[in-house]
C-alpha cells in the first residue's frame, strides 16, 4: 500500500487526484460503496483487471461488475437498454442495483470474462461516485475480500488481508447496507430475473415493472464449466474458515440450535438478540447479528458477524436463518453459501 486516505468526514481534493492518477496507471484502490467495500480498477484495462483477480485469488470465469456515474456512462460502455431495462435504471440507479447489459468494446475482456455481457451498477455512495465522475473512468470493483471469504464492510475487517495488494486504501467508514447489490437480467420475454438477491427486493422490482422471477440457481451449486453472468452464483462464497451449519427459520429453530449445542461442546452461535436467553450457550460464544425483527440491521451486520466466527476458536458455528422473504431472501442466499449448503 502506497497511500492511506481517511475520507470519513470529507473527500480531500488533492488525494482524489492521486486516486485518479493511480487508476489511470492500472493501480488498485480500496473504495467504499453503500453496499460493501470494493477493489477498484480501470474497467477498460486488461492489465488492471487482471490485478483484481490476482489480489482476490478470484477464478477468471467470475465476471466483475462495472460501476458508472450516470446514464451517459452506461450508454458509453453498454448497448442501448430496452424499455424494461430503462425503467429499472430509472427506478433503482443510483443505488444497490446491478443490471446485466450487452457490453461495448471499451470494457476489457478480462472484466467480462470474455462474455458479451457485463453487470452495470451506479453506486450512490458519494466517494466512489465522485471518483468515477471526476475521472470519467468506468470502474470494475468486486467486493473487497479474498475470494470465498465474507465481504468487507469496514476497513478494520479487510485491511490486513489486502493492504499489501493495493496501491490506495480509502477509509469511508462503515458501509450502510452491508450486502452486495441485487443483480438482474431481463430475459427475451422482457421479464427481469434476479441472479443475485440484494437490498432491492423481488417486490421492489415487481412494483416497477409488474413481473419478476428468481433464478433457480440462487440456492444451488452451479456446475463446473457453466458460465455465469453474475458474481456470487458459482463458487463458495462469504464463508468463514470454521465449519458452519445453518438452521432454518421455523417454530423449532431454537430447539434445533440447542440440540446442536448439546452435541457440539466447542461451538458458537451466530444469532439474534432476542434468542440469547433461550440458548444453552455462554454469552461469550454468541455473535449477535441484531434483532430478528429488523432485517436491515441483520443485513448491515451480516459480513462483519461472519468474520467474527473465525476469532472464536471453535470447531463449529451454528447460524440462525431468517425467512426467505424480501430482504430475508438476500440474507439467506449469503448464509446458505457461507454454510456451504449445510442446512438443517
Question: How does pLDDT run across 73-118, given as a tens digit for each residue?
Answer: 999 999 999 999 999 999 999 999 999 999 999 999 999 999 999 9
Q: Which pLDDT does position 310 carry in this prediction?
A: 94
Three-class SS state of 39: strand
Write down which residue in 214, 231, 252 finishes a domain. 214
Cell of 89: 435504471
Residues 193 and 262 grouped into a single domain: no
Are 316 and 299 contacting, i.e. CB atoms less than 8 angstroms apart?
no
Residues 201 and 328 grouped into a single domain: no
Over the stretch 35-73, which tens digit does the pLDDT of each residue have? Answer: 999 999 999 999 999 999 999 999 888 999 999 999 999
Residue 52 within a domain: yes
Query: Could you tell me the residue range of the domain that residue 170 belongs to?
Result: 3-214
Residues 260 and 127 grouped into a single domain: no
- With bands split at pLDDT 50, 70 and 90, how would you rate the model's confidence at 228? low
Residues in the chain: 344
Write down which residue in 197, 214, 231 finishes a domain. 214
Residues 281 and 163 grouped into a single domain: no
Spatial strand order of the sheet with 97-102 comes to 3-6, 168-171, 29-31, 38-42, 139-140, 65-67, 117-121, 97-102, 182-186, 192-196, 213-214
Q: Which pLDDT does position 148 carry in this prediction?
A: 84
Residue 189 within a domain: yes
Alpha helices in the chain (DSSP H): 13-24, 46-56, 71-77, 83-92, 109-112, 126-135, 155-162, 202-209, 253-263, 295-308, 327-338
Residues 258 and 208 grouped into a single domain: no
CATH number at residue 85: 3.90.870.10
> Is residue 331 scored above 80 in pLDDT?
yes
Residues 156 and 21 grouped into a single domain: yes
CA-to-CA distance for 172 and 286, rounded, in angstroms?
Answer: 28
> Is residue 238 scored above 80 in pLDDT?
no
CATH number at residue 334: 3.40.50.11030
Regarding pTM above 0.95, the answer is no
Cell of 269: 452461535
Residue 96 within a domain: yes
Count of domains in the chain? 2
Residues 125 and 55 grouped into a single domain: yes
Over the stretch 149-162, which tens digit does the pLDDT of each residue have? Answer: 899 999 998 988 89
Residues 178 and 285 grouped into a single domain: no
CA-to-CA distance for 103 and 303, rounded, in angstroms?
Answer: 31
* DSSP state string for 149-163: SPPPSSHHHHHHHHG
Residue 235 within a domain: no
Residues 255 and 325 grouped into a single domain: yes
Over the stretch 193-204, which tens digit does the pLDDT of each residue have? Answer: 999 999 999 999
Amino acid at each position: 500500500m502506497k497511500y492511506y486516505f481517511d475520507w470519513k468526514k470529507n473527500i480531500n481534493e488533492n488525494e482524489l487526484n492521486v486516486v485518479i492518477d493511480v487508476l489511470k496507471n492500472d493501480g488498485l484502490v480500496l473504495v467504499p460503496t453503500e453496499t460493501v467495500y470494493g477493489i477498484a480498477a480501470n474497467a477498460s484495462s486488461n492489465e488492471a483487471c487482471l490485478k483484481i483477480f490476482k489480489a482476490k485469488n478470484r477464478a477468471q470465469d467470475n465476471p466483475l461488475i462495472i460501476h458508472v456515474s450516470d446514464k451517459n456512462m452506461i450508454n458509453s460502455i453498454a448497448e442501448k437498454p430496452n424499455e424494461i431495462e430503462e425503467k429499472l435504471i430509472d427506478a433503482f440507479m443510483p443505488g444497490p442495483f446491478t443490471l446485466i447489459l450487452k457490453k461495448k468494446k471499451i470494457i476489457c475482456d478480462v472484466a467480462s470474462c470474455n462474455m458479451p455481457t457485463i453487470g452495470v451498477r451506479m453506486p450512490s455512495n458519494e466517494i466512489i461516485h465522485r471518483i468515477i465522475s471526476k475521472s470519467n473512468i468506468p470502474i470494475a470493483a468486486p467486493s473487497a475480500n479474498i475470494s470465498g471469504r465474507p465481504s468487507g464492510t469496514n476497513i478494520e475487517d479487510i485491511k490486513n488481508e489486502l493492504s499489501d495488494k493495493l496501491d490506495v486504501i480509502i477509509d469511508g467508514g462503515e458501509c450502510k447496507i452491508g450486502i452486495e447489490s441485487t443483480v438482474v437480467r431481463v430475459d427475451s420475454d422482457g421479464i427481469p430475473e434476479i441472479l443475485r438477491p440484494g437490498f432491492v427486493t423481488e417486490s421492489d422490482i415487481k412494483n416497477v415493472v409488474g413481473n419478476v422471477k428468481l433464478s433457480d440457481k440462487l440456492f444451488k451449486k452451479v456446475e463446473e464449466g457453466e458460465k455465469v453472468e453474475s458474481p456470487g452464483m458459482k463458487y463458495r462464497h462469504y464463508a468463514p474458515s470454521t465449519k458452519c451449519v445453518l438452521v432454518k427459520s421455523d417454530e423449532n429453530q431454537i430447539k434445533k440450535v440447542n440440540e446442536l449445542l448439546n452435541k457440539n461442546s466447542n461451538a458458537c452461535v451466530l444469532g439474534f438478540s432476542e434468542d440469547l436467553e433461550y440458548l444453552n450457550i455462554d454469552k461469550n460464544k454468541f455473535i449477535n447479528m441484531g434483532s430478528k425483527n429488523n432485517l436491515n440491521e441483520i443485513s448491515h451486520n451480516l459480513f462483519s458477524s461472519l468474520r467474527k466466527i473465525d476469532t472464536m476458536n471453535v470447531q463449529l458455528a451454528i447460524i440462525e436463518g431468517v425467512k426467505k422473504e424480501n430482504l430475508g431472501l438476500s440474507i439467506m442466499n449469503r448464509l446458505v453459501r457461507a454454510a456451504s449448503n449445510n442446512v438443517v
